[in-house]
């Protein structure tokens, strides 16, 4: 019964943190040679990892890191899944007494928060980044099958129709929660606005999410705006032929549809690591994200290519040095910068590594506050912030 209630909650409210117990778990009958995997303590993620392992009859040790119930991507970008978190869970969970090897498989999307070089130095554990999607885990663990997976299948984030539909439902539910109070207040003056807007929000959320790959414009507000225009055109057509709605009322609803759709589109990029949010450039006037490899510093380790979920890098087949080949796809996650061992990736990131609208605004405000405080004190920026704000010398 509890599981059914949880499933219903995850259908609508999966963006809210939902913590489960952190620590070491056994999946199947692991022995001293079995693989050790790590994930966050978001209940849904843990459940999916366990289901995938059980489905493929893989015996494994699963380390559940305390990430405040937040998913891997957001926890890594938001500073809840870091090198420190993992060192701590490795030392305190008892895993070191359970296995003979020291090899840890991390979720691919944790790379934005975890520096594998530092992790190895501090814990003695060698870390590998697993596939980006749990459905490739069995193939990844099975070395013979794993070698047939391409870079794209292993590493690159996708946003298939099924996921877009689920996210559309979640977007509708969350938006209703946020908008319920202002809507109820406005309903005092505009009769029926609230209950007529409920299906509208759900519909626009679903369309924004499901059609996101095909809507014109860059991800975010422009797509939402395009969708708003499209839906309002259909609305005008129907209202003038089937419902015979008055001109002013039609105009009012048309504007309302465009406004709502633009708002819902603005929030869309935070729903998938597939896209970078545009809010930094649009609202905060920041420069477009830029990363660039400094050839003289690159030692050709290839880690930037491994951790990048957007296939931004290519390695030269003979020199092994990396180069940026697909800048437009960059989502500003910071994983390459975090893991480059020789500080070879120039960047213009200014406000932490999170790229969704919520985190961007929070980080930007924090960054602004920090700068103001430091200016008042006459001090310098902390090293971590400096690393993300200045190109390497």
The footprint of ligand SF4 (CB under 6 A) covers 291, 293, 298-304, 307-308, 310, 312, 322, 330-336, 340-342, 344-345
Taking the least distance from each CB to ligand SF4, the nearer of 65 and 312 is: 312
Smallest gap, in angstroms, from Cβ of residue 140 to ligand SF4? 19
CB 118 within 8 A of CB 82: no
Taking the least distance from each CB to ligand SF4, the nearer of 220 and 334 is: 334
Taking the least distance from each CB to ligand SF4, the nearer of 257 and 345 is: 345
Smallest gap, in angstroms, from Cβ of residue 259 to ligand SF4? 31
Smallest gap, in angstroms, from Cβ of residue 340 to ligand SF4? 3
Smallest gap, in angstroms, from Cβ of residue 277 to ligand SF4? 13
Locate 108 and state its tokens: 């691919």
- d(CA 108, CA 306) in angstroms, rounded, equals 9
Smallest gap, in angstroms, from Cβ of residue 337 to ligand SF4? 6
- Cα atoms in the Cβ-side hemisphere of radius 13 Å centred on 157: 23
Smallest gap, in angstroms, from Cβ of residue 319 to ligand SF4? 10
- Provide φ and ψ at 103, rounded to 5°: -125, 125
Taking the least distance from each CB to ligand SF4, the nearer of 53 and 308 is: 308
- d(CA 144, CA 138) in angstroms, rounded, equals 11
- d(CA 194, CA 179) in angstroms, rounded, equals 10
Taking the least distance from each CB to ligand SF4, the nearer of 25 and 321 is: 321
Locate 233 and state its tokens: 């055109």
- d(CA 321, CA 393) in angstroms, rounded, equals 19
CB 37 within 8 A of CB 49: yes
Taking the least distance from each CB to ligand SF4, the nearer of 59 and 292 is: 292
CB 44 within 8 A of CB 11: no
- d(CA 333, CA 212) in angstroms, rounded, equals 20
């Amino acid at each position: 019964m509890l599981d059914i209630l949880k499933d219903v909650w995850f259908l609508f409210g999966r963006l809210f943190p939902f913590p489960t117990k952190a620590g070491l778990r056994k999946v199947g009958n692991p022995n001293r040679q079995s693989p050790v995997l790590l994930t966050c303590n978001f209940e849904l993620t843990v459940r999916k990892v366990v289901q995938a392992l059980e489905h493929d009859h893989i015996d494994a040790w699963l380390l559940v890191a305390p990430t405040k119930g937040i998913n891997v991507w957001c926890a890594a970008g938001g500073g809840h899944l870091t090198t420190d978190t993992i060192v701590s869970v490795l030392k305190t969970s008892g895993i070191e007494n359970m296995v003979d090897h020291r090899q840890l498989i991390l979720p691919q999307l944790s790379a934005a928060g975890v520096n594998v070089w530092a992790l190895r130095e501090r814990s003695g554990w060698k870390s590998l980044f697993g596939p980006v999607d749990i459905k490739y885990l069995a193939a990844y663990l099975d070395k013979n099958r794993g070698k047939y997976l391409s870079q794209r299948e292993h590493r690159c984030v996708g946003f298939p129709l099924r996921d877009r539909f689920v996210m559309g439902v979640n977007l509708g539910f969350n938006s209703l929660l946020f908008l319920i109070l202002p809507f109820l207040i406005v309903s005092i003056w505009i009769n029926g606005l609230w209950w007529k807007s409920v299906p509208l929000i759900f519909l626009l959320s679903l369309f924004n999410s499901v059609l996101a790959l095909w809507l014109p414009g860059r991800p975010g507000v422009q797509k939402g705006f395009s969708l708003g225009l499209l839906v309002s055109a259909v609305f005008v057509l129907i209202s003038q032929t089937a419902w015979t709605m008055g001109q002013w009322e039609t105009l009012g609803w048309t504007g309302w549809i465009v406004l709502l759709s633009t708002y819902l589109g603005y929030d869309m990029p935070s729903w998938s690591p597939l896209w970078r949010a545009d809010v930094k450039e649009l609202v905060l006037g920041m420069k477009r994200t830029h990363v660039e490899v400094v050839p003289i510093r690159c030692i050709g380790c290839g880690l930037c290519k491994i951790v990048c979920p957007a296939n931004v890098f290519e390695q030269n087949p003979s020199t092994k040095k990396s180069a940026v080949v697909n800048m437009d796809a960059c989502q500003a996650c910071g994983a390459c910068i975090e893991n480059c061992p020789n500080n070879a990736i120039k960047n213009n990131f200014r406000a932490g590594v999170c790229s969704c609208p919520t985190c961007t605004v929070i980080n930007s405000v924090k960054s602004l506050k920090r700068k103001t405080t430091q200016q008042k004190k006459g001090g310098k920026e902390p090293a971590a912030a400096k690393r993300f704000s200045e190109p390497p010398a």
